[in-house]
């Protein structure tokens, strides 16, 4: 019978700088714990310290470093990785003690945490120093997020995006993790192992960039074909309930999990029950505090769904006490890609978890927000009517003349606009339609083309 591997244990480390208050610091560490849980690790301890900044060589002061080392079984000292030399007399003494202990039954040693997870981005030297002091593997917040993205990527585009971001994260840290550094023999002689590894990473990044550009051209073409359609993009913090809302609005079987970054790939589905013209709903990758810039850049194509949408729905977990900070993170990322000019509505989700007093406070603070629970059909139905009303206000009526020689375009007319009336004359069909100005203009061009 195959033995199941034990769950890796981890200790969280946070630094509270003067500009961060107690609530924000606690929320950040709690979120880091959820990230670590998503990674499949179990948090068994936490060390936090107030400091002026995060630039110290070991990040922590000597006292807190010793406290952390006591949890992981490390020495608490930043020194060489080699074991200290022992005198021959001491070796004989310890050897005799080990022989005596061998006769007694052995007790299984208590497991120590194998990972130290730090709630900040670390330099290569800080990672090295912490690993020497703790004897554990050290990951910073960026490393955890990149690893989660790596594990959750399913489509070819997402896998290419994540691998590129991962290599960009690893490359500057090779100096500290590289073992030898000796010269290579044969092809590329004169390069150190480190030089060779870095060159391989540069070559792979260039290869990934070419592959990603080809994939993204296809995605751009698909979005271009949807340009004149009604499009709603669900955006917001990770685990705010976007996928649950997507499922409720479209009836699609998209992945819904209580995990951070369960969705990495953009999903586009039709609003149900279907309307004329159709309304497309897209679910996008979630945002998070300190989302690595390389990931934002790599997911340009995915985030372009938000940039080219007709309407953004900012989905927020209203039951989270830090929802306002999360909303600001989402808005800042969208500002970064230029999507802040797209019309938007605020959706306060998970209202079923908010008490009456909390609801009243939210209503007073955000009078124009849409309050709902993605699991309440009546709330989802009301949101659907709101979306239809938003697009209806932008539509115009016009008359299309469809020649008998172009009857093959009737399907495109019905998909792109709502047909209000239909008549016939000696030249063909006369259709009174209602739709977006851009869609009607495109149809007029198609009908006018010889």
Is the pLDDT at 101 greater than 50? The verdict is: no
Residue 399 pairs in a beta bridge with 432
Whole-number average pLDDT of the chain: 83
pLDDT value of position 263? 54
**Is residue 433 very low, low, confident or very high in pLDDT (cuts 50, 70, 90)?**
very high
Structure token pair of residue 34: 């959820």
Mean pLDDT of the 294-305 span: 67
**Beta-sheet strands, E only, within 108-184:** 115-118, 137-140
- Rounded Cα–Cα distance for residues 192 and 280 (Å): 53
User: What is the predicted pLDDT for the residue at 224?
Assistant: 63
Q: 421, exposed or middle or buried, with CB in 10 Å at 0-12, 13-18, 19+?
A: exposed
Structure confidence at residue 61 (pLDDT): 92
pLDDT at 176: 45
Pairing of strands 311-317, 396-403: unpaired
Confidence of residue 178 (pLDDT cuts 50, 70, 90): very low
Comparison of pLDDT for 258 and 76, the residue scoring more: 76
Across residues 269-281, what is the average pLDDT? 89
Residue-wise DSSP of 351-397: GGGS-HHHHHHHHHH-TTPEE--TT-HHHHHHHHHHHHHHHHTT-EE
Provide mean pLDDT across the span 363-391.
95
Residue 43 pLDDT? 95
Q: Reduce the DSSP state of residue 246 to 3 states and report it.
A: helix
Percent of the chain scoring above 70 in pLDDT: 82
Contact in structure between 250 and 275 (CB atoms under 8 Å): no
State yes or no: pLDDT of 300 exceeds 50. Answer: yes
Per-residue pLDDT, 317: 95
Q: Lowest mean pLDDT of 98-102, 217-221, 325-329, 378-382, name the range.
A: 98-102
* Whether the predicted pLDDT of 403 surpasses 70: yes
The pLDDT of 9-18, averaged and rounded, is 94
Q: What is the per-residue pLDDT for 106?
A: 56
Asked which of 83-92, 122-131, 319-328 is least confident by mean pLDDT, the reply is 83-92
In this prediction, residue 108 has a pLDDT band, given cuts at 50, 70 and 90, of: low
Higher pLDDT, 364 or 260: 364
- The arithmetic mean of pLDDT across residues 258-270, rounded, is 65
Nearest in space to 119 (alpha carbons), one of 52, 38, 34, 238: 34
To which H or E segment does residue 144 belong? helix 141-152
Superfamily of domain 227-392, CATH level 4: P-loop containing nucleotide triphosphate hydrolases (3.40.50.300)
* Predicted TM-score of the model (pTM): 0.75
Lowest-confidence segment of 108-112, 323-327, 330-334, 398-402 by average pLDDT = 108-112
Q: Which CATH architecture group holds 9-81+112-145?
A: 3-Layer(aba) Sandwich (3.40)
195-248 residue pLDDT tens: 888 899 999 999 998 998 888 787 777 666 556 678 899 999 888 999 899 999
Q: What is the pLDDT of residue 261?
A: 60
Mean pLDDT of 116-129: 92
Rounded CA-CA distance 273/427 in Å is 35
Whether 19 has a pLDDT exceeding 50, the answer reads yes
Query: Which helix (H) or strand (E) covers residue 122, if one does?
Result: none
Mean pLDDT of the 426-446 span: 90
Burial letters 153-182, b for 16+ CB under 10 A, else e: beeebbbbbbbbbbbbbeeebeeeeeeeee
pLDDT for res 363: 95
265: pLDDT strictly greater than 70: no
Name the pLDDT band for 377 (thresholds 50, 70, 90): very high
The per-residue pLDDT for 89 is 43
pLDDT at 213: 85
Quick: pLDDT tens for 155-173: 788 788 888 888 988 888 7
């Amino acid at each position: 019978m195959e033995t199941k591997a034990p769950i890796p244990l981890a200790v969280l480390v946070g630094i509270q700088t003067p500009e961060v208050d107690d609530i924000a610091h606690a929320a950040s560490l709690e979120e880091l714990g959820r990230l670590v849980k998503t990674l499949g690790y179990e948090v068994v301890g936490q060390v936090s310290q107030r400091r002026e900044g995060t630039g110290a060589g070991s990040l922590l002061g000597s006292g807190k470093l010793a406290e952390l080392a006591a949890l992981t079984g490390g020495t608490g000292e930043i020194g060489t990785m080699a074991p200290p030399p022992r005198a021959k007399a001491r070796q004989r003494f310890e050897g005799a003690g080990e022989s005596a202990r061998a006769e007694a039954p052995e007790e299984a040693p208590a497991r120590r945490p194998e990972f130290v997870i730090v709630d900040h981005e670390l330099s290569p030297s800080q990672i090295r120093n912490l690993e020497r002091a703790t004897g554990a593997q050290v990951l910073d917040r960026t490393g955890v997020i990149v690893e989660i993205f790596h594990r959750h990527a399913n489509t070819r585009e997402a896998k290419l995006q994540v691998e590129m971001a991962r290599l960009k994260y690893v490359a500057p840290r090779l100096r500290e993790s590289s073992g030898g550094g000796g010269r290579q023999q044969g092809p590329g002689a004169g390069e150190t192992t480190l030089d060779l590894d870095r060159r391989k990473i540069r070559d792979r990044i260039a290869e990934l960039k070419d592959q990603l550009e080809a994939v993204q051209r296809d995605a751009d073409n698909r979005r271009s074909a949807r340009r004149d359609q009604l499009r709603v993009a669900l955006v917001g913090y990770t685990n705010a309930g976007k996928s649950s809302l997507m499922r409720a609005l479209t009836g699609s079987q998209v992945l819904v999990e209580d995990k951070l970054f369960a969705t990495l790939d953009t999903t586009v589905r039709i609003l149900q029950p279907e309307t004329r013209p159709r309304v497309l709903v897209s679910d996008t990758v979630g945002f998070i505090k300190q989302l690595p810039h390389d990931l934002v850049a790599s997911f340009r194509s995915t985030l372009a769904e938000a940039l080219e949408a007709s309407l953004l729905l900012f989905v927020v977990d209203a039951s989270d006490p830090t929802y306002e900070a999360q909303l600001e993170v989402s808005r800042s990322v969208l500002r970064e890609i230029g999507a802040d000019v797209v019309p938007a509505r605020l959706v306060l989700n998970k209202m079923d978890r908010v008490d009456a007093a909390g609801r009243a406070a939210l209503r007073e603070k955000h009078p124009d927000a849409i309050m709902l629970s993605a699991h309440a059909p009546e709330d989802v139905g009301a949101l659907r009517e709101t979306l239809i009303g938003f697009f209806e206000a932008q539509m115009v009526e016009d008359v299309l003349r469809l020649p008998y020689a172009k009857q093959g375009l009737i399907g495109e007319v019905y998909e792109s606009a709502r047909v209000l009336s239909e008549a016939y004359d000696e030249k063909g069909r006369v259709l009174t339609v209602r739709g977006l100005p851009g869609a009607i203009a495109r149809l007029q061009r198609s009908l006018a083309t010889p």
